């Protein structure tokens, strides 16, 4: 389990926000650290930490030069990390699920981004795996939502890239997820075939507009009084596909505030299994990540 640092009280009100400040003639020549402190209300010492961390951008690019002179027409973006400018994450070797010359698979923790975010280039799985072998090669071919746990596979050699890309793009990577959902489905198995579109930065299943085709197969593994443990097998790879499809059929995932799920300590979605033929050796591979205790069928009626 990740040991997240405590929230910084000075930054709490700005954490997770994306603030943009335009530079006008009165600010011409002002230092980046002094200007950002003045407009944000944070102390200059905190701003200097955020600049060093890569959370302050000028004209759409991270800027780590504290004394950079701003010009009329510039814009400064301040994106305060939820836990402040703290480098706290490194991989746990025990969570490596598979490793060979070509691939490495890892059981990603819930709450951890798969890759760099605009406000944090350190605390993510891809960067941490790179730090583990700084002279090696690493390629990202798919992502899990920050709130989702489970199997991720990365390329460790350029020779694996074409094969891995083909596995994901052609649907030859069999994926299985576990989800704890609100309500108890009547059917043991069903399919959702509904397109997914994006509108104003959010994903949804349109009923009166085009979208990208998306199909998911669902199987009930266990039923509780008001919840169920469901296996999801996505046949396409759209963003938030499982979350949207479960919400669309009236069984939102616990902890999925974005799509109508009841409150929970975490998003109850776990990438449990990837099955595929090795992109180089062609050997059959099944990589599984054991689900957290909260996914145990015996815990369905407990508050996660």
Nearest to 220 by CA among 186, 260, 243: 186
> What token pair was written down for 146?
């920050």
Contact 181, 254 (CB under 8 A): yes
Q: What is the pLDDT of residues 9-30, one digit of tens each?
A: 888 888 888 899 999 999 999 9
- Same CATH fold, 93-299 and 18-79? no
Superfamily of domain 93-299: Pseudouridine synthase (3.30.2350.10)
Q: Please tell me what DSSP assigns to residue 32.
A: H
What pLDDT was estimated at residue 82? 81
What pLDDT was estimated at residue 270? 98
Overall average pLDDT of the 120-127 stretch:
94
CA dist., res. 166 & res. 142, Å (int) = 12
Phi, psi of 212 (to 5 degrees): -85, 135
pLDDT of residue 5 exceeding 90, the answer is no
Q: What is the pLDDT of residues 133-192, one digit of tens each?
A: 999 999 999 999 999 999 999 999 999 999 999 999 998 999 999 999 999 999 999 999
Domain residues of the chain, as ranges?
A: 18-79, 93-299
Catalytic residue, from 27, 107, 145, 256: name it.
145
Which helix or strand (DSSP H or E) is residue 47 part of? helix 44-53
The runs of H, that is alpha helices, within 97-212 are: 125-132, 161-169
What pLDDT was estimated at residue 243? 98
What pLDDT was estimated at residue 15? 85
What pLDDT was estimated at residue 81? 87
What pLDDT was estimated at residue 17? 86
CATH entry, 18-79, from 3.30.565.10, 3.40.50.300, 3.10.290.10, 3.40.50.80:
3.10.290.10
What pLDDT was estimated at residue 111? 92
What pLDDT was estimated at residue 258? 94
> What token pair was written down for 129?
């795996």
Contact 304, 268 (CB under 8 A): yes
What pLDDT was estimated at residue 230? 98
Distance of CA 73 to the CA centre of its chain: 33
Contact 247, 232 (CB under 8 A): no
What pLDDT was estimated at residue 104? 98
pLDDT of residue 304 exceeding 80, the answer is no
pLDDT of residue 64 exceeding 80, the answer is yes
What pLDDT was estimated at residue 78? 96
Name 108's Cβ contacts closer than 8 Å, sequence gap at least 6: 95, 114, 125, 144, 148, 149, 150, 151, 152, 271
Overall average pLDDT of the 270-296 stretch:
97
Rounded percentage of the chain residues whose pLDDT exceeds 90: 86
pLDDT band at 207 (very low <50, low <70, confident <90, very high): confident
Q: Please report, for residues 41, 92, 180, 222, 299, the alpha-carbon distance to residue 293 in angstroms, rounded to integers and kept in the order given.
A: 42, 18, 12, 15, 8
pLDDT of residue 1 exceeding 80, the answer is no
Q: What is the pLDDT of residues 228-280, one digit of tens each?
A: 999 999 999 999 999 999 999 999 999 999 999 999 999 999 999 999 999 99
Q: Please report, for residues 98, 168, 192, 234, the alpha-carbon distance to residue 172 in angstroms, rounded to integers and kept in the order given.
A: 19, 6, 19, 11
145 included as an active-site residue: yes
Q: What pTM, to 2 d.p., does this model score?
A: 0.90
CA dist., res. 97 & res. 100, Å (int) = 11
What pLDDT was estimated at residue 299? 87
pLDDT of residue 217 exceeding 80, the answer is yes
């Amino acid at each position: 389990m990740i040991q997240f640092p405590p929230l910084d009280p000075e930054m709490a009100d700005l954490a997770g926000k994306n603030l943009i400040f335009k530079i006008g003639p009165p600010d011409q020549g002002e230092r980046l650290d002094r200007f950002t402190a003045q407009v944000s209300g944070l102390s200059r010492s905190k701003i200097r930490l955020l600049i060093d961390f890569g959370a302050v951008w000028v004209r759409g690019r991270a800027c780590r030069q504290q004394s950079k002179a701003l010009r009329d027409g510039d814009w400064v973006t301040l994106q305060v990390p939820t836990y402040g400018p703290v480098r706290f994450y490194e991989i746990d070797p025990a969570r490596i699920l598979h490793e060979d010359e070509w691939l490495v698979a890892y059981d990603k923790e819930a709450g951890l981004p798969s890759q760099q975010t605009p406000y944090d280039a350190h605390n993510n799985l891809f960067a941490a795996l790179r730090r583990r072998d700084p002279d090696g090669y690493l390629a990202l071919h798919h992502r899990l939502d920050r709130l989702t746990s489970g199997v991720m596979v990365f390329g460790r050699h350029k020779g694996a890239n074409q094969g891995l890309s083909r596995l994901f793009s052609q649907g030859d990577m069999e994926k299985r997820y576990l989800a704890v959902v609100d309500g108890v489905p009547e059917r043991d198995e069903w399919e959702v075939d509904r397109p997914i579109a994006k509108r104003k930065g959010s994903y949804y299943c349109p009923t009166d507009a085009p979208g990208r085709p998306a199909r998911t197969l669902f199987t009930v593994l266990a039923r509780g009084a008001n919840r169920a443990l469901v296996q999801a097998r996505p046949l396409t790879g759209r963003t938030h596909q499982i979350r949207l499809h479960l919400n669309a059929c009236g069984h939102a995932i616990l902890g999925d505030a974005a799509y109508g799920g009841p409150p929970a300590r975490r998003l109850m979605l776990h990438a449990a299994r990837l099955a595929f033929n090795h992109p180089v050796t062609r050997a059959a591979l099944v990589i599984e990540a054991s689900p957290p205790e909260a996914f145990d069928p015996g815990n369905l009626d407990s508050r996660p």
